[in-house]
Amino acid sequence: MLAQSLTTLDYIAVAVFAITGALTASRKELDLIGFLWLAIVTGIGGGTFRDLLLQQPVFWIKEPTYIIVATVAAVVVYFTAHIPQSRYKWILWLDAIGLAFVTIVGADKAITAGASPVIAVVMGMLTASLGGIIRDILGHEPSILLKREIYISAALVGAIVYVATLSIGAPQILGALLGAAATFALRAGAITRGWSLPTYRPRPGRDFR
Amino acid sequence: MLAQSLTTLDYIAVAVFAITGALTASRKELDLIGFLWLAIVTGIGGGTFRDLLLQQPVFWIKEPTYIIVATVAAVVVYFTAHIPQSRYKWILWLDAIGLAFVTIVGADKAITAGASPVIAVVMGMLTASLGGIIRDILGHEPSILLKREIYISAALVGAIVYVATLSIGAPQILGALLGAAATFALRAGAITRGWSLPTYRPRPGRDFR
Amino acid sequence: MLAQSLTTLDYIAVAVFAITGALTASRKELDLIGFLWLAIVTGIGGGTFRDLLLQQPVFWIKEPTYIIVATVAAVVVYFTAHIPQSRYKWILWLDAIGLAFVTIVGADKAITAGASPVIAVVMGMLTASLGGIIRDILGHEPSILLKREIYISAALVGAIVYVATLSIGAPQILGALLGAAATFALRAGAITRGWSLPTYRPRPGRDFR
């Protein structure tokens, strides 16, 4: 039952990341195929790297439904992207949902593949952030990575919460809920209140390069 | 015999993509090793991702001839790139040939690996466009993806033609010819006549972000 | 014993590349998690691609110590990056050490996986340069690849020296030392004396594109 829930999370994550990819395409005024391409690559990018790294079969190869989900997302966005007042806000919020889900699925797939807790946390963090980073590189948008708000940290905390909850023997569904909630809450705080970690600051009065 | 033809297509595709990589290196005035690196990465990039995704042995690891082909292409371009009037036109046309061939090989490898028709089409489209996209990212050129001309769409149509021809039971060689011809014709129309799909346009009179 | 030495080289390479990633993060004034992310991705990036291409288990998945090494490097740099006069120089020199080690480990892993000498040389060159290239793309720094100094060439020569030494039957440790020394010496010459290969130059008096 839980494996099924995680599959559902995976579908939702692919859909929301695909929508953010298509919205990026709309900001760049691409054609329908550009929408499709960015939606597919953003939707499946993080999970594809996750499966390659864990040497598992790539999740969308055997199951074309993921591609169809991303395709539908691209087409819907192509015809509706003029409706929302700010597409950028939609990108931010859908990305936050996707981030929360991909973090849990990434950490969980790593544990299932027999990886240690440290690796599970890293896989959750890496695969959650990769989709957005690929989207930003391909769409020539400023990278999430270089922004000063909480983003990767939210995935890191969610992955730690999930792995820690499992390791004390709590039910997996509880860990998934707590982990996803932690990631989403931190990211929501960053979006609405500009939460950020202290950034590295060079000492004043010196010439740094 | 057909497997052999597809291998030949693969060699030609590696060669022409390697030439476009080396021509990009010449536009950036790199040294010979820069030519070599960009030629190899552009030549084998798309096919490498294809094989990783399909969990097949990476095509150039066991067969060094591909690397030698790309190396020869880099060296030849290094000494002859001053001859053509417009290197950019050569990049465009060779890229169109490579696109047509890589599309067919990508779709075919996916079918051979047991993937569904939808996945075969996606693999043809993805792997055909990846080589050029990697080249553009590494060479700091404006990405194909963000241009408004037909490019990825040409690969998409070619892959659909190939997969559809096979699924109605027609001979594979016919499908390969029709698919490659469709991709090349669409791309040629884009190069010579500026063919493009309608792009997404925000409605006027509103402030969009 | 030598396998052990190569593992040690791998740890050192991960550490120094992680430090260069973290130093790049400090130049971009990221937060601690940004340091961590760039340190991990730069530290393990090249080796990860190497293992994926050779279809070996990815080296850091089963051995979390690599991630811990990169994490420690990120934290140490976060608190000490204000000390050196020029962080950019530290990046250059540590990168040169990492380049030398990764070249040998990459070529050696390819040979162990049964690849031919040509492929071993290419794997040494590719994986040595990938870490720095990924770091530069993610950190929005000008790519090593487009600089005119010797960099990839140093890895190429080191890989050739290593593979050639092995193929004449010399002890592996000698090949590793000679190869790493060749790479480091060439790169050091590029850093201190601006060594470069002749770059491609368009003929004057013509309008090239």
pLDDT digits (tens, 9 = 90+) for C90-127: 778 888 998 999 999 999 999 999 999 999 999 999 88
CA A201 to chain C, closest CA, distance in angstroms equals 6
- Averaged pLDDT, C66-74: 95
Tokens coding B140: 């700091």
Phi then psi dihedrals of residue C23, to 5 deg: -65, -40
Question: Cβ of B84 under 8 Å from any chain C Cβ?
Answer: no
A109 in Cβ contact with A50 (< 8 Å): yes
Res. C136: pLDDT tops 90: no
Contacts of A32 in chain B (CB under 8 A): 197-198, 200
Check whether A120 has a pLDDT greater than 80. yes
C138 has a chain A CB within 8 A of its CB: yes
Option in A36, A37, A48 nearest B53 (CB): A48
Q: How far apart are the first and last CA of chain B?
A: 54
pLDDT score recorded for residue B207: 46
Classify residue B85 by burial, with Cβ atoms within 10 Å: 0-12, 13-18, 19+: exposed
> Partners for B (CB, 8 Å, 3+ pairs)?
A, C
Instruction: Select the residue of B29, B33, B67 nearest C153 (Cβ to Cβ).
Output: B33
What percentage of chain B has pLDDT greater than the value 70?
Answer: 92
CB contacts, 8 Å: A137 with chain B: 137
Q: Assign A203 a pLDDT band (cuts: 50, 70, 90).
A: low
- Nearest-angstrom CA–CA distance, A152 and A157: 9
CA angle B41, B44, B47 (to 5 degrees): 135
**Cα angle A148, A150, A152; round to 5:** 105
Residues of chain B with Cβ-Cβ distance to C206 below 8 Å are 82
Q: Residue C84 above 80 pLDDT?
A: no
Of the candidates A33, C119, A17, A109, the one whose C-alpha atom is nearest the C-alpha of residue B198 is A33
Smallest Cα–Cα separation from C116: which of C129, C107, C126?
A: C107
Question: Percent of chain A at pLDDT above 90?
Answer: 52
Q: How far is CA A29 from the centre of its chain?
A: 23
Give pLDDT, residue B84: 67
Q: Provide the number of CB pairs (under 8 Å) joining chain A to chain B.
A: 82
pLDDT at B196: 83
For residues A117 and C55, give the distance between their C-alpha atoms in angstroms, rounded to a whole number. Answer: 24
Minimal C-alpha gap between C202 and chain A (Å)? 29
Q: Is the CA virtual torsion A129, A133, A136, A142 positive or negative?
A: positive
Q: Which residue has the higher pLDDT, A117 or A132?
A: A117
For residue C55, the chain A residue with the least C-alpha distance is A55
C207 pLDDT more than 70: no
Which pLDDT value is given to residue A207? 46
Taking one residue from A and the other from C, the number of pairs with CB-CB distance under 8 angstroms is 84
Q: Is C40 on the interface with B (CB under 8 A)?
A: no
Closest alpha carbon within chain C to B62: C115
Which of B200, B203, B207, B208 to probe the A interface (max A CBs under 10 A)? B200
Q: Read off the pLDDT band of C85 (50, 70, 90).
A: low
Task: Count the alpha carbons within 13 Å of B103 in the hemisphere toward its beta carbon.
Answer: 33
- Convert the pLDDT of each residue in B44-62 to its tens digit: 999 999 999 999 999 999 8
Write the secondary structure of A156-183 as one string of H (helix), E (strand) and C (coil): HHHHHHHHHHHHCCCCHHHHHHHHHHHH
Report in angstroms the alpha-carbon separations of C34 from A67, A147, A208, C28, C190: 31, 9, 19, 9, 30
CA distance A170 to chain B (A): 35
Angle, to 10 degrees, between the axis of helix C65-80 and the axis of helix C32-53? Answer: 140
* Averaged pLDDT for residues C7-16: 88
pLDDT of C100: 93
Closest-CA distance of chain B to residue A116, Å: 24
Range among A126-130, A159-163, B134-138 rated most confident? A159-163
A partners (3+ CB pairs within 8 A) are: B, C
Q: Is the pLDDT of residue B135 over 80?
A: yes
Q: Which tens digit of pLDDT belongs to each residue from B96-110? A: 998 999 999 999 999
Segment of A93-97, C25-29, C64-68 carrying the highest mean pLDDT: C64-68
Would you state the pLDDT for residue C209?
44
Cβ contact, residue pair A119, C88, below 8 Å: no
Q: How far is B27 from chain C (nearest CA, A)?
A: 7
Residues of chain A with Cβ-Cβ distance to C62 below 8 Å are 115
Query: In this structure, which amino acid lies at residue C65?
Result: T
Cβ distance A129 to C37 less than 8 Å, yes or no, reads: yes
Q: What value of ipTM does the predicted structure carry?
A: 0.84
| C52, C122, C153 member nearest B40 (Cβ) | C122
Residue B182 is predicted with a pLDDT of: 96
Which residue is listed with tokens 């084998």?
A: B44
- Take residue C144 and report the two structure tokens written for it: 């090593």
The rounded percent of chain C whose pLDDT value lies above 90 is: 52
pLDDT at A206: 46
Contacts of A127 in chain C (CB under 8 A): none
A129 touches chain C (CB under 8 A): yes
pLDDT of residue B2: 63
> Which of A31, A67, A68 minimises the CB distance to B197?
A31
Mean pLDDT of C67-84: 88
Nearest to B119 among A67, A81, A138 (CB): A67
Identify the closest residue of chain B to A86 by CA–CA distance.
B209
- C207 and chain A in contact, CB less than 8 A: no
Rounded to two decimals, the pTM is 0.88
Question: Looking at residue B120, what is its pLDDT?
Answer: 95
pLDDT mean over A101-106: 93
CA distance C46 to chain B (A): 14
Q: Residue A22 — very low, low, confident or very high, per pLDDT cuts 50/70/90?
A: very high
Answer whether B88 touches C (CB < 8 Å). yes
Question: Scanning the structure block, which residue is given the tokens 């002749």?
Answer: C198
Average pLDDT of the residues in C62-75: 93
